[in-house]
Chain A
Amino acid sequence: MNSPADAPVLSVSHFQKRYGDTIAVRDLSLTVEPGDIYGFIGHNGAGKTTLIRSIVGVQPIDGGSISVAGIDVTADPVAAKRLCAYVPDNPDVYDFMTGLQYLAFIADIFEVPVRDRQARIEEYARRLELTDALASPIASYSHGMRQKLVVIGALIHEPRLLVLDEPFVGLDPLVSHELKRMLHELAARGGAVFFSSHVLEVVEKLCNKVAIIRHGQIVAAGTTDEVRGDDTLEEVFLELVEDGGAGTGAMGKPAPSSPSEHR
């Protein structure tokens, strides 16, 4: 890996993205350190998926910069993507492949050594209860099974940064619990997880850091304890989103009125 050892796993600095005349995300900055499980919450259309798609390099950025482990995603997208894994909100994958063919394809793309891919496919498929379906065509999978398949594909190369967009949609409680354990394990190995979710209880319990986005701007960010204070995350979220996060943020903490780094 050619990244600086002390660089944050993800660094977003003054990020901006527009669609035509509409500014989807404006001057957004945040940092994700090794070991972090970072929750990213906001209302529909707030700009969560826009930021996520730019982090994983599937859409260009219009302003600012994004680095993964010190590698700029615009300057060296291939090296940055090599350290990332992405689970989109809709797990659309090739219907004409079997589950195993898809995983082998992803392992080939990321050039995962034979022993590693064998062990990881076996382990993750067992833990997410997908082993029995791996030989079947993806066309026969339910939404939840596709979600599990994409998650396994994302973990197959042991990414430094795992980016997930609404990862718990469609998963049953048992698998959902197992996925949370897997995210903790990735963070414990020095990686980091950055994910968006509307399930605030999950974010509150799972994440050590959280950011709230409203209309393309971050209105609160920090450790989960700092952001929620004595309230629940849901109460803080509702308060911030309803009052626009202007002036003083939740718990008397100053909401960022100007771009700043959120650590």
Chain B
Amino acid sequence: MRTFLILMRVQMHALIRSLTPGSRRIGMALAVVAGVLLVAFAALYLAVLGLTLVSFGLGSALPAFAVALSALVGVVFTFLKANGTLFGLTDFDLVMSLPVPRRTVVAARVAALYTSAMFMGAVASVPVWAVYLACVACSPWAVACAALSVLLAPAVPTAIATFLAFGVNALASRFRHANLVYIVISLIAFTALVVVLYGFSFTAGADGDAAMEQLAGGLAAMSSLLSLGWPPAAWMGDAVANGSVAALAAFIGVSLAVPALALEIMQRNYLRINAALTAHARCRALTAGELRHRSGRTASPFKAIALKEFRTLLGIPSYAFNCLFGYLFMLVIAVALSVVGLEGMLGSGVIDGVELSAAEYRAISGVVANALPWAFVFCGIMCPSAACSVSIEGKNAWVLAAAPLPVRTILGAKLASNALPVAATLAVSALVLLVSGQVDALGAAEVLVTGFGAFFLMVNIGLSSDARKPNFSWMSPNEVVKRGFPIMIVILGGMVLAFGGGAVSFVLSLNLGVTAGVLWNLGIGALGMLGGWLVFRFTCRTARLA
């Protein structure tokens, strides 16, 4: 037990360090604020969802829903974190050579995963349980069931997800471009999810009471499906609703037995599993002709660094996940609008319940068109790869630091590798909207200029912060890609800019006319580009690349 606790303490140190990298108080404060806001937002959203289910008479489904939600969060979190916590450890050799039983080592790693998954699951399920206890039934039995559910619901999913993560990682390690394949599949899956959700929302909001009944029926069917698909959810639902001790015992028993069995299987095969994961795919040797041909390809230093940046983005999955979704959103929005039409979308109620009639839409179509570029501003700031491109070099930072290139060339290439694809995606989106008749030429120009200007300003502010105080000592890329100060500046500052700028545009368009809104949008875009350029010049004078 003592060794288990010592190993757990190491895991906790690693977790705390990853949550509070560096020593910047502002960064840590921002991280805490962002975390609290995110948790509050998620809790609010789920509570509203719970209340909606109650209003449809589906309150009794909430316990099962809470368990399934915890399970889902547990699966996703464990799947993402297992590689690095349980597999592919940097300290694998060190830990495994210690005089500690293998079962203890694996148990400590799984416990760390489980504790984190339980916390994440609690964030998702506690609001739902709170709604149930407040609006449906509140008894000591229900409270006890809720507590047990929060504690145990992620156990089985965590156990299953560890095996799933192993399978995927083992498969990925056999392919040279495994990361790229992994990223592409995830992006396709995400796009499919967005399209399905959008389709569901659009259908649900289409036709008054009939649609509401349809939605309620759909939710009831989903609830039944959920209970069938995830038996622990059904057991917990039965235990809470009917006071079934047997169902609760089944939930507890399975929640303890499955992880114990998984732990035993994992510890028995732990050495073999890690050996399989470290066996990277090798390619066949090049022939002399191939070597000569491939080594003869040249590029300018600027282009070489820009290409290297693309490879970095696609070579680190968490970097790609964090910085590629914005591109996808832009294209999805443009295509969706061109298919459904702005008028159709605003008449459907899919956007926050807004349902405009045709006459109402015609009256404010200019105002709406002026608000559209700010949706693309929002998407643009979700592509901030350049903002952490200095820190992401990590241990490789010496390569560019020793390169005979001015800081301007290095940072310029990093910026270009981000700014050019954003500009191209905005241009394509604007073109799609223009060709489909959703915006006129001026509207298309607004999408491009406002979207790019805001992005360029914010990403340069982020890059400036990163280049002047880089964090090269990260252990996991998430430290700079998800929780890094520069990324946080871009995302939070960009959101303020998107919502604030959009609100001003809306007010100006309503009160002073559409032209005022157009001028504001184009002016902000132009100012953003100018401001971004000035920030970049300043950065080149003050940057520290090693």
B286 with A118: CB separation less than 8 A = no
A108 with B291: CB separation less than 8 A = no
Complex interface: chain B residues within 8 A of A121 (CB): 291, 295
Contact flags (1/0) for A100-130 with B, using CB distance below 8 Å? 1101111111110010011001100100000
B402 with A56: CB separation less than 8 A = yes
Tell me the count of chain A residues lying within 8 A, CB to CB, of chain B: 47
A260 at the interface (CB under 8 A from B): no
B296 with A118: CB separation less than 8 A = yes
Contact flags (1/0) for B291-320 with A, using CB distance below 8 Å? 110111111110111011001101110000
Complex interface: chain A residues within 8 A of B363 (CB): none
B546 at the interface (CB under 8 A from A): yes
A94 with B315: CB separation less than 8 A = yes
B301 with A108: CB separation less than 8 A = yes
B285 with A137: CB separation less than 8 A = no
A176 at the interface (CB under 8 A from B): no
B281 with A137: CB separation less than 8 A = yes
Measured in the bound complex, the distance between the Cα atoms of B290 and A118 in whole Å is 11
Complex interface: chain B residues within 8 A of A53 (CB): 546
Q: A98-B283, A111-B301 are in contact. Are A104 and B315 (CB under 8 A)?
A: no
Q: A134-B291, A135-B286, A140-B281 are in contact. Are A94 and B296 (CB under 8 A)?
A: no
A38 at the interface (CB under 8 A from B): no
Measured in the bound complex, the distance between the Cα atoms of B395 and A97 in whole Å is 15
Contact flags (1/0) for B399-415 with A, using CB distance below 8 Å? 10111111000000000
Measured in the bound complex, the distance between the Cα atoms of B292 and A211 in whole Å is 41
A137 with B176: CB separation less than 8 A = yes
Per DSSP, chain B at the interface is helix
A79 at the interface (CB under 8 A from B): yes
B404 with A110: CB separation less than 8 A = yes
Measured in the bound complex, the distance between the Cα atoms of B404 and A101 in whole Å is 19
Interface residues of B in 248-300 (CB under 8 A from A): 280-286, 288, 290-292, 294-300
Complex interface: chain B residues within 8 A of A136 (CB): 176, 280-283
A75 at the interface (CB under 8 A from B): no
B179 at the interface (CB under 8 A from A): yes
Measured in the bound complex, the distance between the Cα atoms of B291 and A133 in whole Å is 11
B402 with A86: CB separation less than 8 A = yes
B224 at the interface (CB under 8 A from A): no
Complex interface: chain B residues within 8 A of A208 (CB): none
Measured in the bound complex, the distance between the Cα atoms of B292 and A44 in whole Å is 42
Complex interface: chain A residues within 8 A of B141 (CB): none
Complex interface: chain B residues within 8 A of A23 (CB): none
Partner of A96, one of B179, B296, B398, B402: B179
Measured in the bound complex, the distance between the Cα atoms of B287 and A132 in whole Å is 9
B294 with A88: CB separation less than 8 A = no
A184 at the interface (CB under 8 A from B): no
B404 with A96: CB separation less than 8 A = no
Measured in the bound complex, the distance between the Cα atoms of B18 and A221 in whole Å is 45
Measured in the bound complex, the distance between the Cα atoms of B401 and A109 in whole Å is 12
Q: A79-B404, A96-B311 are in contact. Are A134 and B304 (CB under 8 A)?
A: no
B3 at the interface (CB under 8 A from A): no
Measured in the bound complex, the distance between the Cα atoms of B153 and A195 in whole Å is 58
A222 at the interface (CB under 8 A from B): no
A97 with B404: CB separation less than 8 A = no
A139 at the interface (CB under 8 A from B): yes
Complex interface: chain B residues within 8 A of A139 (CB): 280
B52 at the interface (CB under 8 A from A): no
A251 at the interface (CB under 8 A from B): no
Complex interface: chain B residues within 8 A of A125 (CB): 291
Contact flags (1/0) for A53-64 with B, using CB distance below 8 Å? 100111100000
Complex interface: chain B residues within 8 A of A122 (CB): 288, 291-292, 295
Measured in the bound complex, the distance between the Cα atoms of B315 and A117 in whole Å is 26
**In the complex, what residue of chain A is closest to B395 when comparing beta carbons?**
A92
B396 at the interface (CB under 8 A from A): yes
A160 at the interface (CB under 8 A from B): no
Measured in the bound complex, the distance between the Cα atoms of B292 and A104 in whole Å is 11
**In the complex, what residue of chain A is closest to B280 when comparing beta carbons?**
A140
Measured in the bound complex, the distance between the Cα atoms of B284 and A230 in whole Å is 52
Complex interface: chain B residues within 8 A of A98 (CB): 283
**In the complex, what residue of chain A is closest to B406 when comparing beta carbons?**
A78
A81 with B395: CB separation less than 8 A = no
A8 to chain B, nearest CB (A): 20
B402 with A117: CB separation less than 8 A = no
A81 with B403: CB separation less than 8 A = yes
**In the complex, what residue of chain A is closest to B393 when comparing beta carbons?**
A94
Q: A59-B546, A109-B301, A118-B295 are in contact. Are A96 and B314 (CB under 8 A)?
A: yes
A82 at the interface (CB under 8 A from B): yes
What are 19 A-B contacts defined by CB distance under 8 Å? A58-B402, A81-B404, A86-B398, A92-B394, A92-B395, A94-B399, A96-B316, A97-B308, A97-B315, A104-B294, A104-B304, A108-B299, A108-B300, A109-B304, A114-B298, A118-B295, A122-B288, A136-B176, A140-B281
B residues within 8 Å of A by Cβ?
176, 179, 280-286, 288, 290-292, 294-301, 303-305, 307-308, 311-312, 314-316, 394-399, 401-406, 546
A81-B403, A105-B308, A135-B283 given; 10 more Cβ-contact pairs under 8 Å: A78-B406, A92-B396, A96-B312, A96-B315, A105-B307, A107-B298, A118-B296, A134-B291, A135-B285, A136-B283
In order of increasing CB-CB distance, the 3 nearest A-B pairs are: A96-B315, A140-B280, A108-B304
